[in-house]
Amino acid sequence: MKELDLSTLAARAGEIAPEDGNRALIEPIHQTTVYTFDDLDHLERFQSGSERGHIYYRNGNPNRDTLERALAALEGTQDAMTAASGMAAISAVFLALVKPGERILADNRVYGVTYSLLAEELPKLGIHTDWVDANDLDAVRAAMTPDTKLVHAESLTNPLVTVADVPRLAQIAHEGGALLSIDNTFASPAVLKPASLGADVVTHSVSKYLNGHSTALGGVILGSGEIVAKCRAHLTRYGGTMSAFDAWMTLQGVKTLGLRMRAHSGNASAVADVLENHPRVKAVYYPGLTSHPQFDLAHDLMPNGFGGMMALEVEDAPAFVRALKGKIPLAPSLADVATTLSYPWGTSHRALPEQRRMELGITPGLLRLSVGIEEIGDLLDDLEGALV
């Protein structure tokens, strides 16, 4: 059978078999916290797993089930588990797959809250992190220890959009007896599928490209049935599971993922080309530019486009933001269908020590642009008008 294109999979996400007669085109929201049973034997069949179904909202919900099936199909993994947020998903991966006394090897460019979790919270539980430049593969190999059980990186980093060499990182991790964890939020499966490149576990903040409309909060963990089962048990015990409404809203966004990502990528490429040649722009960071240090790697790993995220340095960041006059809002998130601007120094990476931010290239003059799906001429008019 011919493999379906991602856009087809996304558009058909959530198709369910009818229980009786014909089915609803769009699955309804199952806003109930508990399910009933006919008798004790019926309850035991559910508890033992011999019969599938739902017991309690925290353990499972039809809307979450549907979203998990859809996302596993898009990422090409055996299983998926949704979570209350992206950080809930990443926390579950770290705590479910790494024991006290074991170590995580993490890219030093990870998202600021991920950094805080690794540097400040996990050591209290006996889990320690070694930091490395994940783009320096020799350094990654040298940093592996017998106690390293998980290597963690982002497919495209926040905010400078460096590209992880997922196949090589997977090889190094596996040779050292560790698993590879990839946060794929900035890319989405429409741009990059880490599991197909060797990653053992993939996470997303589904609030970003998967939802695409800034209307839902959630995270997802994707991988083998065994890995997802471990994370599912952790999330259920700690209570970090997704609501039915957020799952339903996310699925509505997923249906247009392929279309949206083509528009995001096309617009971002055009914007990057213009900004890179603008006299008032000091630097542009976008993997689709030939000037990007990992352009060749990006071209190999992302043949269908480079996504909608970029960073830029301008001569006067506060003046640039003011000059946009709300046409491109300043918003501390990303991946909406409308273009937004963010200030990493004061938001996403605020938790990092100032010296560490500067070392990573996250300066007070750096802005992150999440390029939307607007008409490109209108978007360029807004940006160039603010650079006068």
The set of catalytic residues is 58, 111, 183, 208
| Residues 324, 322: Cα–Cα separation, whole Å | 5
Residue with tokens 């979790």: 117
Q: In one letter, which amino acid is 295?
A: F
> Cβ neighbours of residue 17 under 8 Å, at least 6 residues apart?
23
Angle between helices 376-386 and 257-276 (to 10 degrees): 40
Q: What is the 3-state secondary structure (H, E, C) of 90-101?
A: HHHHHHHHCCCC
| Residues 135, 204: Cα–Cα separation, whole Å | 21
> Cβ neighbours of residue 164 under 8 Å, at least 6 residues apart?
107, 134, 135, 153, 154, 155, 156, 157, 182
Which string of DSSP letters, residue by residue, matches 97-155?
A: H--TT-EEEEETT--HHHHHIIIIIGGGGT-EEEEE-TT-HHHHHHH--TTEEEEEEES
| Residues 295, 120: Cα–Cα separation, whole Å | 34
Is there a contact between 302 and 375 (Cβ–Cβ < 8 Å)? Answer: no
Q: Which two tokens stand for residue 54?
A: 């739902």
| Residues 284, 270: Cα–Cα separation, whole Å | 12
For residue 314, the surrounding DSSP H or E stretch is strand 309-314
Angle between helices 62-75 and 244-254 (to 10 degrees): 40
Is there a contact between 157 and 107 (Cβ–Cβ < 8 Å)? Answer: yes
Is there a contact between 186 and 157 (Cβ–Cβ < 8 Å)? Answer: yes
